[in-house]
Structure 1
Amino acid sequence: MSGESEAASTGDDSDGGPTDRDATAADTMRERAGENRAKLWLLLRANRLVVAGVLTLVVFVAFVAVSAAFSPSLAGKVGASDPIETLFSAMITAIVTGATLVVTIGQLVLTQENGPLGDQRERMDDTLAVRDSVAELTGEPAPTDPAGFLDAILGTASARARDLRESVRERDGDGSGEPDGPDGTGLEADVDEFAAGVVGNADAVHDRLDGAAFGSFDVVFAALDFNYGRKLGRIERIVADHGDALTDAERDSLEALRESLSLFGPAREHVKTLYFQWALIDLSRLILYAAVPALVVAAAMVTVVDAGTFSGSTLGIDHVTLVVGGAFAVALLPFSLFVSYVLRVLTLAKRTLAIGPLVLRDSE
């Protein structure tokens, strides 16, 4: 579960200011969402194939338990009627329909990649314009891998936060006649706390982006833990509370930091969008793979299995019940894959609906 751990502490500030951990504890997605660790791991961090496998196993156990608990038993019902044929005939129809739907979803994803030459040129120009902005921001060519691309912006934000803190510390603080903010806090204290939060949060996310490969969920999940929107809001609050006390150099430092934070937002959304497309294509392929054995099993159950095919029992459970339950779980495997992937995509989409300093949940 290392991917969902809280932002790591970088220790006490050198001048006795707030620790980075104190400043960044609410920046992680788990802290902001108020969800427990197990739920967040299931929805986002867990391997999707493992989630689908566990869901399939749960279906099997539940089917066997319900079939064994009620009277008459499934074996008795098979002898009196034909529930197996009824069940798996419907499953065959559902599998074929679901596979067709998945192909449609895949086509919708791919349509975003298709288009006339003019549209492709416009996409390229927009991409290069953003890369030029990042290169201007960082002072070096923008990395080509998504993790490095995001990390470069974070590194610049962290460096500019340190510059802002040092610029304010060079002054005498409140003793020079600097007015307090509305809550009685001085500019230096506000900037110290804010800069510690930016640096600590950026360093923690940097550690998780280092070596993360796109295609896995690691890059997107790490980026979710940098709460850039809250930091943009803090810059606006610092300017509003201490506008008269800020020097031109400090205003420039705040604006430079604001520029780097505001660029992280669309960069993260772009990487998230690419991940959505990647995940939906993977989902389409996996469901098509799973549909073939599911169809074979369902067809075999319709044409082969009857009351006398699997006689006997184990631990009081009829063998036919175990076989039908297992076949039913296998036939549902495409649906289990669909559920596991869509849970992650929908959860991620909900957590990132707003861009910028807009909070769509209870906040102080």
Structure 2
Amino acid sequence: MSGDLEVASSEDDAADADDADSDASTADTMRERAGESRVKLWLLLRANRLLVAGVLTLAIFVAFVAVAVAFSPSLAEKVGSSDPIETLFASMITVIVTGATLVVTIGQVVLTQENGPLGDQQERMNDTLTVRDAIAELTGTPVPTDPAAFLDAILGAASRRARDLRESVHERRGDEPDETALWEDVDELATGVVENADTVRGQLDGAEFGSFDVVFAALNFDYGPKIGRAERILDDHGEALIDDEQDLLEELKGSLSLFGPAREHVKTLYFQWVLIDLSRQILYAAVPALVVAGLMLAVVDAGTFPGRTLGVDHVTLVVGGAFAVTLLPFSLFVSYVLRVLTLAKRTLAIGPLVLRDSGPE
């Protein structure tokens, strides 16, 4: 009876382990893991941010004109009886100035992180060099200074360790059930690491920092579940592995573990880069937006743009276009923040934690 209970308990533990591995299994690329439509992910991440801002501005213009035409009396008649243009664009001038000031404040916060006393800067440098030394020891070569090549070096080290581990286990593979299970687990881990690493290294080839290409490629290497699988192999088959294979497995795990903070470091630098670019572009867009708002206050009234085209008052088209232009700084802000927030959500966990959405974003 006791033996039966022990067997049943062992079977339950094995089933739980299989369920844990199944839960940890995940697609490699971010597109496959996200479970979102290709168009949505392209809009949130891959699309040019200026293009997204332009499309959003156009959508605002179309929506404004459509709503203005749908209501009666027409905008031209409202302008003749009151002064909605002055009310609208006086408010927009206040919004633009306030928003530009806020953007400058955000830029100052970003730059503040780069400032500090000499001791703090020396500590940052020492921490950076310590990590670079660890990566150099792992790869056997000096660490590149280019962010794409930096990530590529870590992926190359992980891929080599995975191949060496698979070859070592394959050479002494036997027909015993334990050895077969070891081979299958190692082969699955090695295949996943090598194929995923080769794909991402191809995407990193030629990618330049400042564009989104480097960060997007890094998102496609799903290192967390691979660390978990390496830990599972060491726990399940530690006694069946020879010393060299245990060392290779530990080095593989170390390579995968280094990719996490390396990716986060590159992502953090990209966030700072983007926030500085966003601040500059919003300030650039604020100038023409203020000019347009000022012109609408000083020049445009009910008689400035008489006539109609396709049943739409010319003044409606002008006011709608001017309103969309004055919202261009906000459209830029929305387009960049959508990417930053999506990227932050996709990289919340560092390490072997698999976060999955329970519903749409």
Distance 1:244 1:343, change over 3 A: same
Query: Hey, what's the Cα distance between the residues in 2 that align with 1:42 and 1:240?
Result: 43
Query: In structure 2, what is the equivalent of residue 270 of structure 1?
Result: 265
Query: In structure 2, what is the equivalent of residue 52 of structure 1?
Result: 53
Query: Hey, what's the Cα distance between the residues in 1 that align with 2:127 and 2:50?
Result: 35
* CA positional deviation for 1:245: 2.1
Give unmatched runs, 5+ long, in structure 2. 1-24
1:237 correspondence with 2:238: no
**What are the superposed Cα offsets for residues 252-293 of structure 1, whole Å, 9 maximum, x if unpaired?**
111010011101100000000000000000000000000000
Query: In structure 1, what is the equivalent of residue 40 of structure 2?
Result: 39
1:361 correspondence with 2:356: yes
CA contact (8 A) 1:163 1:253 kept: yes
Query: Hey, what's the Cα distance between the residues in 2 that align with 1:80 and 1:206?
Result: 65
1:258 correspondence with 2:257: no
**What are the superposed Cα offsets for residues 132-152 of structure 1, whole Å, 9 maximum, x if unpaired?**
111111111100100000000
CA contact (8 A) 1:178 1:245 kept: no
* CA positional deviation for 1:25: 8.1
Distance 1:325 1:213, change over 3 A: same
1:218 correspondence with 2:217: no
Query: In structure 1, what is the equivalent of residue 199 of structure 2?
Result: 204
Amino acid at match of 1:230: P
Distance 1:229 1:207, change over 3 A: same
Identity of counterpart residues, as a percentage?
80
* CA positional deviation for 1:242: 2.1
| The 10-residue stretch of structure 1 (306-315 or 25-34) with the greater mean CA deviation from structure 2 | 25-34
Where do residues 1-364 of structure 1 align in structure 2 (5 Å cutoff)? 26-173=27-174, 175=175, 177-179=176-178, 186-361=181-356
Query: Hey, what's the Cα distance between the residues in 1 that align with 2:326 and 2:152?
Result: 43
Give unmatched runs, 5+ long, in structure 1. 1-23
Query: Hey, what's the Cα distance between the residues in 2 that align with 1:117 and 1:178?
Result: 61
| Aligned partner of residue 186 in structure 1, secondary structure | helix
Amino acid at match of 2:342: T
Query: Hey, what's the Cα distance between the residues in 2 that align with 1:67 and 1:361?
Result: 43
CA contact (8 A) 1:215 1:275 kept: yes
CA-based RMSD of the aligned residues comes to: 1.4
Query: Hey, what's the Cα distance between the residues in 1 that align with 2:238 and 2:258?
Result: 24
CA contact (8 A) 2:68 2:316 kept: yes
Query: Hey, what's the Cα distance between the residues in 2 that align with 1:136 and 1:249?
Result: 17
| The 10-residue stretch of structure 1 (79-88 or 270-279) with the greater mean CA deviation from structure 2 | 79-88
Query: Hey, what's the Cα distance between the residues in 1 that align with 2:155 and 2:173?
Result: 30
**What are the superposed Cα offsets for residues 142-194 of structure 1, whole Å, 9 maximum, x if unpaired?**
00100000000000100100001001101233x1x3527xxxx7111111111
CA contact (8 A) 2:26 2:225 kept: no
Amino acid at match of 2:178: P
Query: Hey, what's the Cα distance between the residues in 2 that align with 1:196 and 1:190?
Result: 10
**What are the superposed Cα offsets for residues 293-346 of structure 1, whole Å, 9 maximum, x if unpaired?**
000000111111100000001000000000000000000000000000000001
CA contact (8 A) 2:78 2:84 kept: yes
| The 10-residue stretch of structure 1 (148-157 or 129-138) with the greater mean CA deviation from structure 2 | 129-138
Query: Hey, what's the Cα distance between the residues in 1 that align with 2:357 and 2:188?
Result: 22
Query: Hey, what's the Cα distance between the residues in 2 that align with 1:227 and 1:360?
Result: 12
Query: Hey, what's the Cα distance between the residues in 2 that align with 1:61 and 1:27?
Result: 40
Query: Hey, what's the Cα distance between the residues in 1 that align with 2:272 and 2:351?
Result: 23
TM-score of the two chains, using structure 1 as the length reference: 0.90
| Aligned partner of residue 69 in structure 2, secondary structure | helix
* CA positional deviation for 1:244: 3.0
CA contact (8 A) 2:135 2:154 kept: yes
**What are the superposed Cα offsets for residues 168-222 of structure 1, whole Å, 9 maximum, x if unpaired?**
101233x1x3527xxxx71111111111110000000001100100000000000
| The 10-residue stretch of structure 1 (238-247 or 90-99) with the greater mean CA deviation from structure 2 | 238-247
